[in-house]
């Protein structure tokens, strides 16, 4: 330990020069901007002779990660040693002198001879490496010039999420992994995986194979925007493509993706919708509906009137069986149970649902929704997990331990925080990345509507300023949602989410007082070649901004 202290002391002495020669912050492609960053015009020269000094074996996975990166991008790996080399330059990875439980924090200090990384946890080291990667040159060279920097970093929020709807359109395992790569690059730590909806069931459940063999396919898909009759029914003028559409993830696929995300310190949050958005499941198992069916997986967008029957105990057994398999696949604390947009017409007409309302003294269908969610919560809690749901789960009373995801604005999130429930903010404005990002819609791919330009995302503050400290504590963070009714390919997922994802990363990571949109755009322009190298189909509107 003394030796490390000595090294750190020498290092601190050497960085005095770094701080003095600091140039304006604008010229490093760092996103999200670290909490505290200084740099000079000096460089560390990394070559195949550079050693990695590893002070803790626990950090080996991250050393392998960075070595894989060096090998893929520069054609060499670095040797790992346990003692300081007597000559040559090196990267020293160590833990801080005392542990404070800040597992995502790190320090990255680079002078002309050494790169020092200090992290208490593997996640912190991983984030230090993400930062380092952003300032590495993109060109292959035997001598890699890295700017001398002095960075102290820590996230603003503990929940930094991105969502992807794989029900309306299906994305392959490799595409999902690519999405996870982008999340990791910007230090997100939650991937919200929307696996189930009216238009397709995408997760293998061993006990109920029809969920994927029937619910995993729709016979065709509507073309463009739906046309509606005056009475709210879909018009006969709607056009369908006549092509069967399907796909699902096997449990092995899921395990592979969860492990892949875990290696990048990303928790996968599965969403299993209930009681609404459940038509694909009911197409496979109509006995859990109010009417008994029959049903087809939805071929158009929107919300189905048919939902799970809350009056049948068998519905709950069915969902508990599904959740049992889901909870075994996803190691995170939370399971997302949807809860949004459950139309109540079927419940109003269903004798079993009405009987439940009467026996349980629930008064209304909203009360029945609350009963449904609370009953599911009890089961999930009994297995050691927590539920999170969209803000409709407030209706009729929030289940006792539920966390809430606020999407219809922030009102629900504020209400839940006041009731001392954990909250993730995800208001349609500006967190729906399926909305348009440019005013000129004629130049954009067809989108669901709305307008969430890059600057509106950047300006977002997930914690309303009028909340008191005790209430703000319950705002865990925020996330953006990528619904895919009108997003038919992964290239379009990239277009809609990048660079808005980069802007959101700064909302979630960077201290508010350090944020500056003009500076962000300068850094984004510097960062764009890295996206080009990765082949990302990002939206380029920002390139014309001054
Ligand atoms: C939602 O957009 N229905 C959560
Ligand atoms: Zn019913």
Q: pLDDT > 90: what percent of the chain?
A: 91
DSSP string, 409-437: SSHHHHHHHHTT--EEE--HHHHBTTSBS
Strands 196-197 and 200-201: antiparallel
The ligand with the least distance to the CA atom of 435 is 1
Tell me, yes or no, whether 234 and 382 share the same domain.
yes
Q: What is the whole-number distance in angstroms between the Cα of residue 304 and the centre of ligand 2?
A: 15
Q: Which of 110, 91, 119, 128 is nearest to 15 (CA)?
A: 110
Question: Which ligand lies nearest the alpha carbon of 354?
Answer: 2
pTM (2 decimals)? 0.95
Task: Identify which ligand lies nearest to the alpha carbon of 355.
Answer: 2
Please give all residues whose beta carbon lies within 6 A of any atom in ligand 1, as ranges: 340-341, 390, 407
Which ligand 1 atom sits nearest the alpha carbon of residue 390?
4
Q: Which residue is it, tokens 């980069």?
A: 502
| Residue 232 shares a structural domain with residue 380 | yes
The pLDDT value given to residue 5: 40
- pLDDT tens digit sequence for 281-327: 999 999 999 999 999 999 999 999 999 999 999 999 999 999 999 99
**Over the chain, what is the mean pLDDT?**
94
Query: How do residues 319-363 score in pLDDT, each as one tens digit?
Result: 999 999 999 999 999 999 999 999 999 999 999 999 999 999 999
Ligand in nearest proximity to the CA of 356: 2
Are 277 and 304 in contact, with CB atoms under 8 Å apart?
Answer: yes
* pLDDT (0 to 100) of residue 27: 76
Q: What's residue 7's pLDDT?
A: 42
Judge if 173 and 149 occupy the same domain: no
Q: Give the strand pairing for 144-153 and 36-46.
A: antiparallel
Residues 190 and 80 in one domain: no
- Which is the closest atom of ligand 1 to the Cα of 481? 2
Q: Which residues pair with 424 in a beta bridge?
A: 405, 477
Show the tokens assigned to 165: 């709807």
Q: Is the pLDDT of residue 14 over 90?
A: no
Which pLDDT band, with edges at 50, 70 and 90, does 26 fall under? low
Tens digits of per-residue pLDDT, 188-222? 999 999 999 999 999 999 999 999 999 999 999 99
Closest atom of ligand 1 relative to the 277 alpha carbon: 3
Question: Which one of 163, 278, 390 would you pick to mutate in the ligand 1 pocket, going by the greatest count of ligand atoms within 8 A of its CB?
Answer: 390
Distance CA 468, CA 415 (A): 13
Residues 371 and 463 in one domain: yes
Judgement on whether residues 382 and 362 belong to the same structural domain of the protein: yes
pLDDT tens track for 105-152: 999 999 999 999 999 999 999 999 999 999 999 999 999 999 999 999
Structural domain span for residue 244 = 159-544
How many structural domains comprise the chain? Answer: 2
Residue 169 sits in the same domain as residue 143: no
Condensed to tens digits (0 to 9), the pLDDT of residues 455-467 reads 999 999 999 999 9
Atom of ligand 1 nearest to the CA of 432: 2
User: For residue 483, which atom of ligand 1 is closest to its CA?
Assistant: 2
Last residue of a domain, one of 105, 123, 153: 153
pLDDT exceeds cutoff 80 at 13: no
Burial (0-12, 13-18, 19+ Cβ within 10 Å), 440: exposed
**CA 201–ligand 2 middle distance (angstroms):** 21
What are the C-alpha distances in Å from 545 to residues 32, 336, 446, 519? Answer: 19, 38, 24, 11
**Residue 340 Cα to ligand 1 middle (Å):** 6
Centroid of ligand 1 to alpha carbon of 406 (angstroms): 9
Q: Which atom of ligand 1 is nearest to the CA of 426?
A: 4
What is the mean pLDDT of the segment spanning 45-62?
Answer: 94
CATH of the domain at 149: 3.30.379.10
Q: How far is the CA of 215 from the centre of ligand 2 (A)?
A: 20
pLDDT by residue (tens digit) across 69-114? 999 999 999 999 999 999 889 999 999 988 888 999 999 999 999 9
Place of tokens 């959740």: 323
- Asked which of 94-98, 152-156, 178-182 is least confident by mean pLDDT, the reply is 94-98
Give distance in angstroms: CA of 407 to centre of ligand 1.
Answer: 6
Tell me which H or E stretch contains 121. Answer: none
Among the listed ranges 82-91, 321-330, 487-496, 499-508, which one has the minimum average pLDDT value?
82-91
What pLDDT sits at residue 148? 96
Identify residues whose C-beta is under 5 A from ligand 2, the ion: 290, 309, 311, 350, 352-353
Residues 136, 167, single domain; the answer is no
Active-site residue numbers?
197, 277, 341
Which residue's entry shows tokens 């996330």?
A: 479
Domain boundary among 153, 171, 189: 153
Residue with tokens 């000559």: 87
Which one of 301, 337, 340, 449 would you pick to mutate in the ligand 1 pocket, going by the greatest count of ligand atoms within 8 A of its CB?
Answer: 340
Which of 302, 339, 342, 407 to mutate to test ligand 1, by most ligand atoms within 8 A of the CB atom?
407
CB 95 within 8 A of CB 25: no
Ligand nearest to the CA of 292: 2
Give yes or no: residues 62 and 210 share one domain.
Answer: no
- Same domain for 179 and 258, yes or no, is yes
Residue 45, SS3 per DSSP: strand
The whole-number average pLDDT for the span 403-428 is: 98
Residues 292 and 415 in one domain: yes
* Cα–Cα dist 44/246, whole Å: 51
In this structure, which residue's CA is closest to atom 3 in ligand 1? 340
DSSP-derived 3-state class of residue 389: strand
My answer on whether 528 and 414 are in the same domain is yes
Q: How far away, in angstroms, is 309 Cα from ligand 2 center?
A: 4
- Span from the CA of 289 to the centroid of ligand 2 (angstroms): 6
Among 163, 197, 277, 341, the mutation site with the greatest number of ligand 1 atoms within 8 A of its Cβ is 341
CA of 402 to the centre of ligand 2 (A): 24
Give the position, in ligand 1's atom list, of the atom nearest the Cα of 338: 4
Across the range 500-512, mean pLDDT stands at: 98
Mean pLDDT of 224-246: 93
Q: How far is CA 120 from CA 88, 100, 154, 210, 410, in A?
A: 26, 8, 12, 46, 34
Separation of CA 26 from chain center: 27
Domain termination site, one of 138, 153, 168: 153
CATH number for the domain spanning 277: value is 3.20.20.80
Helix axes 122-135, 173-185, angle to 10 degrees: 80
Q: How far is CA 468 from CA 10, 198, 319, 462, 473, in A?
A: 44, 39, 38, 14, 9
Is 12 a residue whose pLDDT tops 90?
A: no
By alpha-carbon position, which residue is closest to atom 2 of ligand 1? 407
Beta bridge partners of 38: 150
């Amino acid at each position: 330990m003394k030796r490390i202290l000595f090294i750190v002391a020498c290092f601190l002495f050497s960085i005095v020069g770094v701080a003095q020669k600091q140039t304006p912050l604008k010229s490093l492609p760092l996103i999200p901007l670290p909490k505290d960053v200084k740099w000079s015009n000096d460089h560390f020269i990394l070559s195949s002779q550079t050693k990695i000094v590893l002070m803790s074996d626990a950090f080996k996975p991250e050393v392998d990660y960075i070595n894989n990166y060096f090998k893929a991008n520069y054609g060499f790996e670095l040797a790992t040693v346990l003692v300081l080399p007597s000559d040559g330059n090196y990267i020293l990875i160590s833990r801080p002198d005392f542990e404070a439980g800040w597992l995502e924090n790190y320090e990255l200090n680079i002078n002309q001879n050494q790169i020092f990384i200090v992290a208490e946890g593997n996640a912190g080291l991983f984030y230090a490496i993400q930062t380092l990667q952003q300032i590495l040159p993109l060109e292959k060279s035997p001598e890699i010039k890295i700017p001398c920097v002095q960075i102290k970093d820590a996230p603003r929020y503990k929940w930094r999420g991105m969502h992807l709807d794989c029900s309306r359109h299906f994305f392959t395992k490799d595409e999902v992994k690519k999405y996870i790569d982008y999340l990791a690059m910007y230090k997100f730590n939650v991937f919200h995986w929307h696996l189930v909806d009216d238009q397709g069931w995408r997760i293998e459940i061993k006990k109920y194979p029809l969920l994927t063999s029937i619910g995993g396919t729709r016979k065709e898909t509507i073309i463009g925007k739906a046309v509606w009759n005056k009475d709210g029914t879909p018009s006969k003028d709607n056009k369908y493509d006549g092509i069967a559409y399907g796909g699902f993830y096997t449990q092995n696929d899921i395990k592979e993706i969860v492990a892949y995300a875990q290696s990048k310190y990303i928790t996968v949050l599965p969403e299993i919708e209930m009681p609404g958005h459940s038509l694909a499941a009911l197409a496979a198992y109509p006995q859990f509906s109010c009417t008994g069916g029959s049903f087809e997986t939805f071929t158009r967008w929107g919300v189905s009137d048919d939902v799970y029957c809350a009056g049948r105990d068998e519905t709950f057994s069915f969902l508990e069986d599904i959740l049992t398999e889901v909870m075994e696949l996803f190691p995170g604390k939370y399971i997302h149970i949807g809860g949004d947009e459950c139309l109540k017409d079927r419940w109003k007409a269903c004798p079993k649902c009405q009987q439940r309302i009467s026996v349980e003294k629930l008064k209304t269908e909203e009360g029945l929704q609350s009963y449904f969610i609370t009953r599911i919560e009890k089961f999930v809690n009994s297995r050691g997990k927590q539920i999170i749901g969209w803000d409709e789960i407030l209706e009729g009373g929030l289940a006792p331990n539920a966390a809430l995801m606020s999407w219809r604005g922030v009102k629900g999130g504020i209400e839940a925080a006041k009731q001392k429930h954990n909250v993730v903010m995800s208001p349609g404005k500006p967190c729906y990345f399926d909305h348009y990002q440019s005013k000129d819609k004629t130049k954009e791919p067809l989108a669901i509507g709305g307008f969430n330009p890059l600057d509106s995302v950047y300006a977002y503050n997930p914690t309303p300023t009028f909340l008191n400290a005790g209430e703000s504590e319950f705002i865990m963070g925020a996330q953006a949602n990528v619904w895919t009714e009108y997003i038919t390919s992964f290239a379009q997922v990239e277009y809609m989410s990048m660079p808005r994802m980069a802007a959101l990363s700064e909302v979630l990571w960077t201290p508010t007082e350090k944020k500056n949109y003009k500076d962000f755009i300068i850094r984004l322009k510097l960062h764009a070649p890295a996206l080009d190298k990765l082949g990302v189909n990002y939206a380029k509107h920002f390139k014309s901004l001054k």
